[in-house]
Each structure stands twice: as structure tokens, then as C-alpha cells.
Structure 1
């Protein structure tokens, strides 16, 4: 900023400070011209790099209450002195608490905690500063009353914690933007005079540290829901000022730390047994469970019969640069020196606690000397003591003698009480160096003292003290390090259940939400649950909780975790932080070469952040010469990404996308979708859509249905967005497709590709309504592009829907339409495809000979033209027709020709269908072992590829196998699964077949009433669909009626069957034609009907004719004797004795 700009800024600030005195109108008039001049100067100067950061901070607003009334009674000089003096003193308080004042405006100020570097206690220091500001306001109010006789002078303060953009504005370093600022201002505006209001988001960080008074939620402009807040009354005494963890009202057992607890217990008992010092250090990252482990150990130790003398202390972020801060905390806890004690009282407590330990053998004067030396070392003012005066300038001597005194305190106390010492030290990673020096000295010189020194730390301690607790520990004292790892999946799920035990049942989606994001960190899990509570996803009751599933997925990273992880990021070198930010744009998993594509030097920082356990290398990147890394936590990745400015994100996303787009090799296609997402975030709509399309096509080829649908959905949503909304600065001119003029043709082609992938995928899943909608959209595109080949594809795909829904009339119509289009195009390949579909339609509609002739001609022509894919399609038609004509041997021959072609052509779905058809042919021959093998393999493959219609068919065949094996229960389960699939894929004929199979299974289990109802439903569906399965259902109805002894009903069903046959009808297309006729004979014979003999003769002759066509004697024997109804027909013909009407089911 130039000198002139600085002068103008200062003048504006000066006028703003006198707003209360001069009035708003005067200040606005004067400031307006100055701001205009400043803006002109800024606009005229060359653009400079903008130093901006995104980060979570705690924002504090302070307002002086009563300043307007005061200005009415004091002259300008006095009001200036009061207000500026107050703001100056408040600024000193803010800075003393680690904050930075960014702005002054009249009689208020705005300060930020965590602006430069984040600390885990930013919010705590902001609230402590707020309380100190209230105290200053009260003091100033008393002075104003005394000096000027005016009452009512005070301050009020508000604090809120959240994300902001710092820097880069007109006011440069004082610039702060974001909703967080508005909320903090609202906290201050609604605070009472002399009060401190903090938002719920700030209170989350300091819960347990302050006494508070809950307040009713307040409205904030720009925020949808009212915001909860509290009035902070006071800080709790230091001994009790521990940020509360866990979930209020839920006492949980410790999970997954039994082995580590046993190690601590063994160390404790070892001190008693051996009488020597043992130093144990528990190491883990934040939130892993160090403090909980120590708490469980304390509870266990307190319940032991052994007597011990306890010391404990905790290091704090704000005291790590305070010499001997941790040692002072340890002694203060033991001697009950409170934070608010006067210096005189603190010194008195120290003398009373320390001197008696030395007096007996060294005398009162020497004992006081030890106490004064130790007190002086830890910061108590003993400078006027006769024992200190002569050496207070000799720091080395004070340190040496103070260390000796402190070590002697532990030694003498253990001797006096004849009990070991237990020293518990928390958060050693924040300990000051002087205290660490003393602790290493203590471990060395007190090695022979029965003493357990238990310290908790994060791994960062070893960056400062690699050999902690020191090599000297090996000279007598034992040292042990216990590494706490994150909870594994099993323990994580157990902890989630423990934390959520007030729910009647923990939904899997909630358990996964809590455990998946936390990655084994208990603190993260607790904070995620508390956030879900705060955001209404979980309602808390006295005894029971309730989950609101619709709100589970809307949750984000809790601000408590953001501050924790942001502090870790700010603790690394600038180059390392930048590399992490760049890596976060690549993703949770990233690669060194991708990082180098963003910044040629970024990968150089990876060893440092790996040592700090912020990222971890992974073994197999899948790319030659590339190393793969992952962030240590998903939440760390999210927090890091949120610190990257948007304009930088676009730049980094573009470079990451380019790197992924250039990949080659076996796994390159696996990253098409990720490349697309990077291009989308970079604002490159064209490339994003193209790569989403490629990713969708690749996913469909692998039958990864959900991935394919997801990529298509992303691309179509992007295509439907106006261009200006996808990362670009201006929208420009667009046509109706939302793209630049001239691109309409290319966009329609791209849209076709996407819809084609989705339509085929929906077809396999049986989602007919959505499939038809996509075909309608594809038809519109074909018309817009005036492309007969695309029109053909629409007709061809509609044939497929008709085939899979057994609508053979519609299939024939679409096949003829496709044939006409193929002829118009002049493409015989397309013509043969249409012919194949028409052949199926003819055969399924009852004209098997015409269909078969058409298929044979198509097969011959396909072979002559070398169209091998079409050859497989015609072989499939002929195999199906052979099955319909009761020629399973011929069907097997066609399948045996087709299967090698399917595999050679790389068509796994068609190969799966062929395998399933092969199994069905073996079933028709009665070869149970072969049938079970081929059907089982077909089921495995069709499930893998997601062909639900084919899966239904296979399940029906497997149901038949189980019925033949006498496994009615298994058959019933398979039939039910088949029926569910038939309904899902909207195929009424398959639904009727499944109901018939279920009816037979119910009958086999003796559930005749259920069987009768099921066959009735099957008959109704098949009759409405004009499906030949209606005859299978009638035979089933006759069988179950016979089993119930209702022979009249059985005869009515048979009469309907006979009327159909006598009227020229056939049983082609039924599942089990011989069973239908066998049941008819049974019922007629039971009634003594003269027609029985003719029916038996006809079905026996038919059976023998089919058997005679089977040249293989083994297969012929199996055909006659392995299929129950065939066996029964042969036996009845041989003996002339009827069987009961349900024996062959």
C-alpha cells in the first residue's frame, strides 16, 4: 500500500472512530469521498498477487455500550480518550490471548483467533479473551463513573467459530469475508451489556472449560434456522478445565484397548515388585484414545489395595513456550495451588508443601532454600528471598539446584510415605522444553526410586526428542513405549454400537456413517455423532434416541475436528502444506506424478508429510514408475481441501484431469470417471462430459451397473447446466442445448451415447419404465439427427424390451419396422439383426416353423458374410426353438456351436446365457448332474453381469431340480426369488411360471391351501397375457384339487385343458407338456372316464416318439426314467394302473 493509500485508510478509520460523536450523516459524507478516492487509487495501481486463505477461525466482536450517551455529556477530547483508550487496552488483551484485531469501526472492534496459524485452543483463547474484555469493560466503566460521573459504560462481546476468507480485499490484511462474520456480529449484538455470547459452534470446542447459561435460539440473517448460543459466565478452575469429550448422558465402556491397559497394569505392579522407576509413554494421534486409556488405568489403580502417591499434570498449547509450565502444573495440582491464587498464597502453599520434606535432615533454612529455588524455577516470584538474591542472575545454577530440589521432592515423598510415586503426564507433545529437560533428568537420577512415570503424547514429541525419555533411561530405569493404533473395523463397529446404545436398533447406514468417516478414531466418532445430534439427524430422549434417516447424508465435518486438523496443517512447513493442499485436490488417494503435474516441486515434500503421518504410501499404484499415497484420514483430506481457494482448485483440478487423461496401461480406464470429475471441477464442461461418457461405456462393458448409471447421470446433469454455471466466469451465447452455437450436433451425439449406455443397463436390471423413457429420448435424438441407423437402434432395443416382457406381438411389429429401416439404409448387417428378432417373435407367437426357417436362413447368410456375432444370435434362436419343440439334443448341439464363438468374440453376457440354456437342455433330458452344473455356472455369471431376467429363468429351472430331489423347502425359496425378479423386470409370463413353480413347491410340502391359491394366481396372470403357461397352471390346479379330495374341481380344470386340445390347440410353450397330459389322465382315470385310455395312449406315444429321436441310449434312458412324469407315464402304460393325481409333480 502506498503512503497516500495508508493516509486515506487512517483518515477513514479516524472518522469512523468518531461516528458516535460526529453523527452518522457527517461521517458518511466525509468517509464517502475518501473511500472513492482510495478505490480509484487501488484500481489504478497494477494488479498484485492476492494473499488469501480459507480457514476456520474464531471471530470475536466487541462493542462499547453507552458510547453514544457518553458523547452527549463529554467533550470530543474526553470521548476520544475514553473510546480510543478502551479499544487500545482491548487490543492488548486480544493480542495477549493470541488473537489479531483486523478492524476497528467507531466504538467496536473485530478480532480473529487462528488467522495466521491454527491452534487447537483457538476457540478457548477467544472465549478467555472475551471474559478478559468484559473485566476490562467493567474496570473502564468504574473509571468513567469516577472521572466523569457518567454511569452505563460497558462492553459486550460475541464469538462464533467457522470458515472465512482472509485477506485480499480493499482493506488488504484486514479483510475477512464469510457468513461466520455475520454470525459473530449477531452474537455480539444480542449479548447483554457486560455479557459474552458464543455460538453453539464455538461452544462445541470449549464444552467443559467454562460455566455457561443456555439461551433461546436467535435468528441470523442469511441462516435458514435459528442459531443456538450460550452466555459464558466464567472459566472453570484450572484443575477442572478439561474440554469435555464423549456424548452427554452416555456412559460407555472402553473398546479395543484391553491389551494396552494390561501393559499399564503390569508396569504399575512392576514398580511395586521391583522398587525402581518405570517410564511408560503412550503414543497416538489426537483422538485415538490416550486419555481414555489413562482414565481407565486410574480407575483400576484407585481400586487396588496398594498405596501410592499421585502427581499429575497436563501441558497446554498456550504454555509450551512458558519455561517449566508443565512442571508448574504438576506441582500446582499436588499442592493445590489454584490458577486464581494470589502470588503470596501460591508461595505459601509451595513452602508448606515442599519445605517439610527437607527440614528433618537439612534444617529449616535449607528446606526453605529448596522450596524457594523450586518456586523460582517454575515462575513464582522469590526474587527477594535471601536464598535466591545471590544466584538469580546465574540461570545455570538456578536450573541445576532447582532440578535437584524437584527430583528430591519425589524421592523424599516416596521414602516418607513408604509408597511409590505415580506421575501422570498428559499432552507431552505440548510440553515446554525446560520441563522435558527436567523429566529426562528425573528419569535418570531417580532410577532407583519406586516411581511410575506415565506420559501421553502424540508422535510429534519425537520430532523434538527422538530418544524420549532419553538414553539415560537405560542406566537403571526401565522405559516402555506403547503405540495406540486406530481401532480396526470390528472394534470401530463395536464402539459405534456402544455410543449409540440408546437407539432401539442402530441402522447400518448410521453405523457406516460414523465408522467410515472416523477411520478408527474414537474422538472423531464421538464428534460425528454429536454433529448428527446438533443437525437433527438424531433426536435425544431421556431413555431412547430416534434416528431421522433423511438427514444422515447431509452432515459435514464437525468444526471441532476442523480446528484440530487445521492446527496440524499449520504445524508443517509452508512447502509441505502447499503440497498437501495440491494433493487434496487430486483426491484422498493421490500419486506423486500427478502431484508433479500440478507443481514440479510438490512431490519433494512427500517424505516430510509421510514422517508426520499425514499421508501414507500405498504398495501398488497400478502404474509403472508411479508411487501412490493416501491421506491418513478422510476427514483430514476434506479439511485440507477446504483450505484451497476456489481459483486454485480449478487450476489444480484441470492439471490433475490432464494427467489422468494421459494415463495408459491396464488400469487407465478405471480412472476415466475421476478424470471427468476433475474436468468438471475445473470448469471444462466439454471434456468432463466426454470422459463421463467414456467412463460409463467402460463400466457397462464390465457390467458395473451402478457406476455406469452414476457416470451417465453426472454427464447428463452437466449437459443440462447452462455453460456459465460450470466453473467459467461468463456464460456466453448458448443454444437450446446450453452449449455454444455450432456444437448442437456433437452434443446430441454425446447425449445419444450416454442414453444408450443407460438404456442397456436399465434393460438388464429390468427397470422398464425408465428404459422406455430413455428409448423415447433416443428416438427424439435420432429424429433430430435425421439418422436412420439410430432409428434402427431404437426399434431394435424396443424389440428387446418386448422379448423380455413376453410381448411378442409388439416385438414382431418393431422387428418389421427395424427391417424396413435397414433396407432403407442398405445395410445387410442391420437387416439380419432385424430378421433375428422377427424369427423369435414368430416362433413365440406359435409359428415355430416359419420362425425356424427364418433363423436357419439368417444363420446361413451370416456365416457366408462372416458376420460371427450375428451367427451367435441365430444359433441362440435355433437352440430356443429346439427346446420349444422338445428336442433338447438339438438344442445342445446349437449351444455347443455358440459357446466357443461367444467366448472368442468377448461377449461374456451372451456366453452366460448360452451356458444357462445348456443347463436347461440337460434338464429337459433328465440329466440332473449336468443340469445342476451348467445352471449353477449360468446363475453365477448372470448375477455377476446383472441380467435379472435371465437370472429369473435359471432360478425356475433350479426350482425344478429341487422338486425332483424332494427338497420342497429349497424349491419354495428359489421359486419365491424367481417370482420377485419376474415382478421386478415386469415379465408377466415369467411371473406366471414362477407362481406355478411355487405352487408345486407348496404342494410338495403339503401346503395344499397355499398351493391352490398360488396356481389360481398363476392361471389368472397367464390367461390375461394369453400365455401357454395357463395350461401348466390348470394342471397344477387339478393336481392340488385331487390332493385335497375335491375331484369335481380337478375334473373341471381337466375339462378346460381337453377342450383346448380338442379345439386344435397345442401345449407348445408350456413348461412341462407331458406333466399337463399326465395330470389329465390321472384325473380322468380316477373318475373312471372312458377318455382316460386315449389320453394315456397319446402321451405315451408322444413320449416314446421323443425318446426314439435320442440316439444315445444313456440319454434316452435318462429321458424316460429320470424325469418323474416320464417315469410315471412309462409305468402306468406298462401296468395300466393309475397313480394319484399329484404323484408326478
Structure 2
């Protein structure tokens, strides 16, 4: 494809060494039981045996095992996990064991699980200084991967939130966080591979449904690696996981799914007997009551027995428990598990109840100081309340906290938290959510970006739409910085829905639409990006924001280029330039001039294109705008390329790429590698083109730069065709066509032109003609003269191989006529060469010789030595 325009991205401490060298467990839960009695696990033996079988497969064969355990709340997932942990730790050579928990409060934080993993592997502590934490990372990484791998330590440190802007090891990546993220994930996988060379590792993730999307993708990616690491991934989740990830985990061969169903009657009776084993023979009325009400839910059985103990029906003793059967008829047994759990709150005094209400608003882990702040004027002894709630087994302290200097707690069960939250009056909820948002803003310190989505959610649930919208914008920006694009899009969309009807929020709304459009563009969602930037343009025009208006027009111009619409591209760029000059913004003027330059080149007005690119460079140099200087050089290269001066084009493009490398802008480096590959293709130097394009594709793929991959695949297909590597070319071309379709942009004519050439070499002439015709139709729709001329040549070459090649000469003639323009010498020479081959084979031989001589003259004129070598003299 022709060179493109670039889119602006606007556990407690273990002191033994750098990493854990022994089996360990993080946040492993143990059953609480009833009155000190922990019953044996009932009804989950088959599931436990499946887990152990997969573990033994890991020991024997290596590789990766992925197990998903699915069950609704109270079905015993945590108990099964705890029992598995106990059995694993009794093995003679126990594996490393790490356990993490998803949290709805942090599900909007990109790559949260990667951060937890790195923190656990290296015993990092957020209370330590930046320097100490980095030193621990450097020690651990270099011990595992070698002394030359210190850069990986800095990459991992960046991902976990260390301030490493001045790190010399990240100087080439500091403006490309997408690349840092990808490198960090790769480094984490390499570390796990090294750690599991001798001893396998088990990673258990509780509540996968509350894990951020980017981390879920990372889990799936780790499972797909297969033999590279010796790892068992166990995911505990509820069924609504499949609402967000309907295909989980179909992409992982051999993945095991274990569904936990309600206990049957026999199993329920057995569990009751296990818990009440000190009561001797149970009265049938009592056993029947518990079993009938529980519906096979193990947690309900345990909580109902807890209630019967509290109400004096069951009286525990040290050796013998007594049953007061006569009290049964007078009891009111709750019909739902939530109501049953709420009965545990009855002994609380008003202050304890209010404190627990406030704590439940946190929607997962909570911090006592936050709950006290939410209560406002209510005076309470926080330490005494915490002690009382722990004694009543309503809350559990956590070994680690996600916030510095804040002890963290959880409810003893998530269902208990929900039961508490559901009975809070609506007017109290509004106040609690707003105050929790305020507390987070004041106490998140350097981690504010990580909590922006959570703050937005609490403001929203507290009825403060304006603050909620603004914090969603911050959360979107944070997610975009981490290149979790789907998360960023979600935040921006939520912000728009909150701010759309607030007349005083116009500036925020305009900025939000523009940011959403840019992220959609980076995600190759072109149609959606057009809609967002048009909305930005309309709002900016309505409210008189000329800066935002000009930027939106320039973005629309760039997208029009992606959509193969050079006329609209020029119109948008001209409007953007007029506004930019009106407000006197040098940066916007430079970008608008550059885009307008390329639009004119696309339409064949190459003199005007060169003039505009040179003007852009002059203004950028006067303003000392480094990024603008580099971009202007790149657009000057495109202007010279369109004029046919490929050598000068190559010089400017390489100079631009040097500057982009110095700026650390790998997105632009990938862009210029694409353009260098395109120019090398135009020179007929397919080997050099392949080198440029493969590096560019690696950068784009590793960084997830989806739209750039499409351009690189287009040019890479042409290079492979030129090198006669047709099988590889066909695969890449079809992948590029698929990506265009998925991104809802017009398929590049180049793809079908090169596909036609592949089919010809394979003897599939009819398919070659069909592909060439599709390429011609697409080129005509785009309206670019060069693309149409080249497409006619491809159709002529395909028709020349037909049994009756009558129309081939007409196609070549039309191509030659369209390409008879300054700057198209190389393409006209190729057309004349293809036409000559047709005439020499099945037409007028004398005419063929003349055409071949003309082609050689054109190649000499353009100094195309590679093409001259391919065009033998007669």
C-alpha cells in the first residue's frame, strides 16, 4: 500500500533474596467452620481428583495446564481450592504456589494481575522506596535471566508503577508504553519459564470474573504457550464470566472445565452429619429442616447451622453438642441465603452496624479509615469495632494492602457483603459512595491513575455525574497509556453518557469525544473513529473551540486516507489548515500542511504536494518543533516518491526515521519502516524492502498497532511476490484482507493486485483475473490515478494468460495512459515491460521489442538498477 499518514497518539516480606525459592501461598483461604468444627469436604471429591490428575500430568509431561472451576456463590469453590492446596503442600516435592484474587474495585485497572504476579514473584512492597524496589527487581531478574537482562527489570518496574522516566534502559521506549507493556508480559513469561525449569508452578486466580480484561487475555496467552513453561493455571469463577468472555477458554487446547453443581440430598445429609458429628444421632426433623432449606448449597448449610447455634437450638460443648429440638417449631428460618446471612448482623450494636454498612460500599476489600470517613460525624473507635467484627467472624484481615499505610480487610464471604449492602437505604448509599470517592482521591497518592476508574464508579453511584464523567476520562487516559484499548474505550463511552446532558461540561465532552476517536483509531475501528471525530467537530464548532475543531478535521483527513478517499482527505485538511492559521497554532499548522501535502500527492498534484511539505518543514524548524520536523521530513519523502525521485525520497525517509528513533517514538519508527519498504519495492529492491517491512511488522505486532499491521502486510505481500515467495505472500495477503474487513475499512487494491500475481504463478488464471478485477474496482472507488493505472496493469497481466487474451493489450494501453505522468516513471516502465512480454509471446513481436526498449529507457531515467536487471535487452 502507498505510504500512510501517521495517527498522533495524543505477602509479607521474604528477605531471603530477589525472588521466592520455595513453595508459597498468597491469600490462601481456610474454612472457618462452625464453632471451631471444620467439616470434611463433601461432594467435591471427583473435582479434587481431576485437579490432582492435571497436576500429575504437569509433573510428568511439563507444559501448561489450564483448569476453570465454575460455580455460583456458596457452591464450595474456595473450599475445593483450599483442599487442593493442602494436598499439594503435602507432596514431597511441592510446586511453587501463588494465589491471587480478582477484585471488582480494581477490574478497571489494566494488567492488574500482571502487577500482582510481579509483586509476588519478587516480594515487592509498595511501602519501600522506588530505589529499593528497583534494586530488588534488578537482583531477582539478573539472578534468573543473566546479568545482561537488567533492562527487563526496568520494564517490569515500569509496569508495576515505579517512576522510571529517567531510566537509561528505557530511553528508547519511554514514549511507547504499548511496547513496554508487551515486553513486560514477555519478560514475565520468560521468568516463569526459568523458575519452572526444575519445579513447576501453580497459579490460582480466585474470582476470574472480577479480573480486568487485559489480565484475562494474559492468562489465556500464558496457557497457549504450552511446552515453554511448566505451569498450572487454576481459575475460580462464576457463570457470568461468559457474559464478558463467551469463548473462554476455547482457544487453549486441552483446557479443563469443572462445573460445581448443588449437592444432592445424600451429599447434603452427609455434610450436615460432618458438621454436627459431636451431636451424636441427629433428630430427623433437624436434619430434614437443614437439607430442605439449603437446596444443595454448602454455604447455606453451614450458615444455617451457625444460626441454629446462635439461637440456642444447637449448644456446642467441648466434647458433646446438645440439640434443643423443642425450640425448632418456634424458629423462623430465612428462606434465602442472603436473609440467612443477615441474621448474623442482629447482635451488632448501632455503631458496628453503621460501620459495616459503610465498609460494604467498597464492593470488595475495604479500608477501615475509609469506612470511618464515610460515616462523617459518627464518632467511633475504629480499632475496637474491627476487633469485634473479627471476633464475630464477619470480616477477615488481609496479609497485604493495595494502598500504602492502610490495613485492608474483606468480608468473610462476598455474599455477606452483598447482604449488608442491599439493606442500606438509598439516600445513605448516595452519601457513602460520594464520600468513598473523595477518600480515594485524598489517599491514593501516586496510584491515582490506577484508581481513577474506581473513583469514577463511586461518584456515579453517588449521583455526581460531572465528577464521575471527569474521572472516567482520567481512567480512559490511564488505560490508553497502558494500551488497554478496550478498557479505555469503555471509560470514554461511560464518560460521554454521563456528561452529554450537562451544559457546563462542554469542554470535557469535546475532549472525551476526541480521545475516544483516537483510541478507536489506534484499535483500527475506523468507522467508529470517524463518528467520534465528527461529533468532536460538531461540538467544537457549536461551542467555539477552534483548537479542537481543527484537530478533529485533521484527524478526519487522516482517516479519509485510510478509507481510500483522497478527495475528502484534501477537503478536511484544507479546512483544518484554515482554522489552524486562524488560531496561530504552529503544531496544528504543520500537521495540517503535511496531511494536505499527501492528499494532493494522492490526487496526482505532486508539485503542490511538494510545496506544502516543504512549507510544513520550514514552520516546524522555525518553531523548533522536533516532532513536527521529523514528520515534515517524512511527508517530504512521500512528496518526492510521488514525483518519482525515489533516491531523494529514501534519503528524507531515513533522516526522518533517525529522528523518530531519537525521540523514542517506535510507533512512528514502524510507520517509516513501512514507507521505506514501500519505496524499496518501488525501486525493485525487494530484499531491502523485506528487511524494512519485517522489522516494522515485528514492532507493530509486539505493540498491538493494528492499523499499521495492515499497511505493512500490504507492502510485505508485494515484496514477497517480487521475491517469488508466493506461498508466504498468499498467506499474508489474505490476512491483510481479513484485517481490513474486521476493521471495516475498504480493502486496499494492492492486496488483490498482488493476490492476482500469486494466482498467476500458481496457474490459477481464472482466479487471477477475478482478483485483478476486484483490485481495479477498489482502485476506481478510491479515485487515485496511480492506483487505477497499476490495477489496469494487473488485469492485463492476468488476461494475457487466458486462452483468448484479446483484452490484455487494451488493459496495458489504459494503464500506460494513466501512468503517463511525472512521478510515475517506474510504474509506467513496469506496465510497458508487461505489455512487451504479452506482445512478444502472442502478439506483435516488433511492437513488443519497441515497448521493451521504452521500458528500459524509463528505468534508466529513474536510476532503477534492479528493474534494469530484470528487463533484458533484445
TM-score norm. by structure 1 comes to: 0.46
Report the counterpart of residue 692 of structure 1 in structure 2. Answer: 472
Report the counterpart of residue 382 of structure 2 in structure 1. Answer: 601
Report the counterpart of residue 800 of structure 1 in structure 2. Answer: 558
Quick one: structure 1 residues 509 and 840, their matched pair in 2 at CA, closer, same or farther if it must change by over 3 Å?
A: closer
Say which of 671, 676, 682 aligns to 2:462.
682
Report the counterpart of residue 1080 of structure 1 in structure 2. Answer: 835
Matching of residue 1096 in structure 1 with residue 852 in structure 2:
yes
* 8 Å Cα contact 1:815-1:834 kept in structure 2: yes
Quick one: structure 1 residues 686 and 841, their matched pair in 2 at CA, closer, same or farther if it must change by over 3 Å?
A: same
Report the counterpart of residue 526 of structure 1 in structure 2. Answer: 261
Residues 212-270 of structure 1 show CA distances to partners (whole Å, capped at 9, x for unaligned) of: xxxxxxxxxxxxxxxxxxxxxxxxxxxxxx99979xxxx999522459999xxxxxxxx
Quick one: structure 1 residues 290 and 904, their matched pair in 2 at CA, closer, same or farther if it must change by over 3 Å?
A: closer
Quick one: structure 1 residues 794 and 1059, their matched pair in 2 at CA, closer, same or farther if it must change by over 3 Å?
A: closer
Q: CA–CA distance in 1 between the matches of 2:413 and 2:257?
A: 9
Report the counterpart of residue 774 of structure 1 in structure 2. Answer: 532
Quick one: structure 1 residues 827 and 719, their matched pair in 2 at CA, closer, same or farther if it must change by over 3 Å?
A: closer
| Residue pairs, 1:956-1035, within 5 angstroms | 956-985=714-743, 987-988=745-746, 990-1027=747-784, 1028-1035=786-793
Question: Residue 586 of structure 1: CA displacement?
Answer: 2.5
Report the counterpart of residue 884 of structure 1 in structure 2. Answer: 642
3-state DSSP of counterpart to 2:594? helix
* 8 Å Cα contact 1:884-1:1069 kept in structure 2: no
Matching of residue 809 in structure 1 with residue 567 in structure 2:
yes
Quick one: structure 1 residues 587 and 969, their matched pair in 2 at CA, closer, same or farther if it must change by over 3 Å?
A: farther
* 8 Å Cα contact 1:676-1:687 kept in structure 2: yes
Listed as ranges, the gaps of 5+ residues in structure 2 are: 1-31, 35-39, 58-75, 88-203, 209-218, 224-230, 251-255, 265-294, 304-337, 376-380
3-state DSSP of counterpart to 1:526? coil
Q: CA–CA distance in 1 between the matches of 2:712 and 2:434?
A: 48
Residues 17-63 of structure 1 show CA distances to partners (whole Å, capped at 9, x for unaligned) of: xxxxxxxxxxxxxxxxxxxxxxxxxxxxxxxxxxxxxxxxxxxxxxx
Q: CA–CA distance in 2 between the matches of 1:860 and 1:883?
A: 20
* 8 Å Cα contact 2:77-2:236 kept in structure 1: no
Quick one: structure 1 residues 747 and 855, their matched pair in 2 at CA, closer, same or farther if it must change by over 3 Å?
A: same
Question: Residue 676 of structure 1: CA displacement?
Answer: 0.6
Quick one: structure 1 residues 1031 and 819, their matched pair in 2 at CA, closer, same or farther if it must change by over 3 Å?
A: closer
* 8 Å Cα contact 2:645-2:823 kept in structure 1: no
Residues 72-111 of structure 1 show CA distances to partners (whole Å, capped at 9, x for unaligned) of: xxxxxxxxxxxxxxxxxxxxxxxxxxxxxxxxxxxxxxxx
Q: CA–CA distance in 1 between the matches of 2:703 and 2:678?
A: 19
Q: CA–CA distance in 1 between the matches of 2:543 and 2:448?
A: 32
Q: CA–CA distance in 2 between the matches of 1:1000 and 1:836?
A: 34
3-state DSSP of counterpart to 1:935? helix
Q: CA–CA distance in 2 between the matches of 1:677 and 1:882?
A: 52
3-state DSSP of counterpart to 1:707? helix
3-state DSSP of counterpart to 2:547? helix
Question: Residue 657 of structure 1: CA displacement?
Answer: 1.5
3-state DSSP of counterpart to 1:586? coil
Q: Which has the higher contact order (CA 8 A, sep 6+)?
A: 2
Question: Residue 615 of structure 1: CA displacement?
Answer: 5.6
Matching of residue 840 in structure 1 with residue 621 in structure 2:
no
Residues 619-647 of structure 1 show CA distances to partners (whole Å, capped at 9, x for unaligned) of: 684x5545667778776765564465544
Quick one: structure 1 residues 1080 and 609, their matched pair in 2 at CA, closer, same or farther if it must change by over 3 Å?
A: farther
Question: Residue 1015 of structure 1: CA displacement?
Answer: 0.9
Listed as ranges, the gaps of 5+ residues in structure 1 are: 1-118, 122-241, 263-282, 295-484, 501-505, 515-519, 530-557, 721-736, 1108-1118, 1137-1145
Q: CA–CA distance in 2 between the matches of 1:260 and 1:826?
A: 67
- Give the strand-richer structure, 1 or 2: 1
More displaced, 756-765 or 930-939? 930-939
Question: Residue 863 of structure 1: CA displacement?
Answer: 0.3
Q: CA–CA distance in 2 between the matches of 1:994 and 1:284?
A: 51
Q: CA–CA distance in 1 between the matches of 2:55 and 2:805?
A: 76
Question: Residue 1080 of structure 1: CA displacement?
Answer: 1.5
More displaced, 899-908 or 1087-1096? 899-908
* 8 Å Cα contact 2:657-2:672 kept in structure 1: yes
Q: CA–CA distance in 1 between the matches of 2:749 and 2:519?
A: 25
3-state DSSP of counterpart to 1:866? coil
* 8 Å Cα contact 2:796-2:807 kept in structure 1: yes
Report the counterpart of residue 670 of structure 1 in structure 2. Answer: 450
Q: CA–CA distance in 1 between the matches of 2:54 and 2:570?
A: 72
Q: CA–CA distance in 2 between the matches of 1:940 and 1:630?
A: 44
Question: Residue 1073 of structure 1: CA displacement?
Answer: 5.2
Matching of residue 1057 in structure 1 with residue 815 in structure 2:
yes
3-state DSSP of counterpart to 2:261? helix
Matching of residue 652 in structure 1 with residue 432 in structure 2:
yes
* 8 Å Cα contact 2:686-2:720 kept in structure 1: no
Question: Residue 929 of structure 1: CA displacement?
Answer: 6.1
Q: CA–CA distance in 2 between the matches of 1:1059 and 1:255?
A: 72
Report the counterpart of residue 362 of structure 2 in structure 1. Answer: 586
Question: Residue 856 of structure 1: CA displacement?
Answer: 1.2
Matching of residue 255 in structure 1 with residue 50 in structure 2:
yes
More displaced, 760-769 or 792-801? 760-769
Quick one: structure 1 residues 1030 and 522, their matched pair in 2 at CA, closer, same or farther if it must change by over 3 Å?
A: closer
Q: CA–CA distance in 1 between the matches of 2:493 and 2:749?
A: 35
Instruction: Work out which of the two has the higher radius of gyration on C-alpha atoms and give 1 or 2.
Output: 1
Q: CA–CA distance in 1 between the matches of 2:777 and 2:649?
A: 31
* 8 Å Cα contact 1:496-1:511 kept in structure 2: no
Residues 384-404 of structure 1 show CA distances to partners (whole Å, capped at 9, x for unaligned) of: xxxxxxxxxxxxxxxxxxxxx
Report the counterpart of residue 671 of structure 2 in structure 1. Answer: 913
Quick one: structure 1 residues 923 and 1050, their matched pair in 2 at CA, closer, same or farther if it must change by over 3 Å?
A: closer
Aligned length: 605
3-state DSSP of counterpart to 2:361? helix
Q: CA–CA distance in 2 between the matches of 1:1040 and 1:606?
A: 83
Q: CA–CA distance in 1 between the matches of 2:56 and 2:393?
A: 26
Residues 744-776 of structure 1 show CA distances to partners (whole Å, capped at 9, x for unaligned) of: 3x3111111111111222333444443343344
3-state DSSP of counterpart to 2:846? coil
3-state DSSP of counterpart to 2:51? coil
* 8 Å Cα contact 2:825-2:858 kept in structure 1: no
3-state DSSP of counterpart to 1:256? helix
Quick one: structure 1 residues 494 and 1006, their matched pair in 2 at CA, closer, same or farther if it must change by over 3 Å?
A: farther
Residues 929-972 of structure 1 show CA distances to partners (whole Å, capped at 9, x for unaligned) of: 65445423433444566654432110112212333444323211
Quick one: structure 1 residues 674 and 620, their matched pair in 2 at CA, closer, same or farther if it must change by over 3 Å?
A: same
Residues 261-303 of structure 1 show CA distances to partners (whole Å, capped at 9, x for unaligned) of: 99xxxxxxxxxxxxxxxxxxxx995566979x99xxxxxxxxx
Report the counterpart of residue 542 of structure 2 in structure 1. Answer: 784
Question: Residue 690 of structure 1: CA displacement?
Answer: 1.2
Question: Residue 613 of structure 1: CA displacement?
Answer: 11
* 8 Å Cα contact 1:844-1:1069 kept in structure 2: no
Q: CA–CA distance in 2 between the matches of 1:903 and 1:628?
A: 44
* 8 Å Cα contact 2:263-2:298 kept in structure 1: no
Question: Residue 486 of structure 1: CA displacement?
Answer: 9.2
Q: CA–CA distance in 2 between the matches of 1:1098 and 1:1049?
A: 22
Report the counterpart of residue 870 of structure 1 in structure 2. Answer: 628
| Residue pairs, 1:693-772, within 5 angstroms | 693-720=473-500, 737=501, 739=502, 744=503, 746-772=504-530
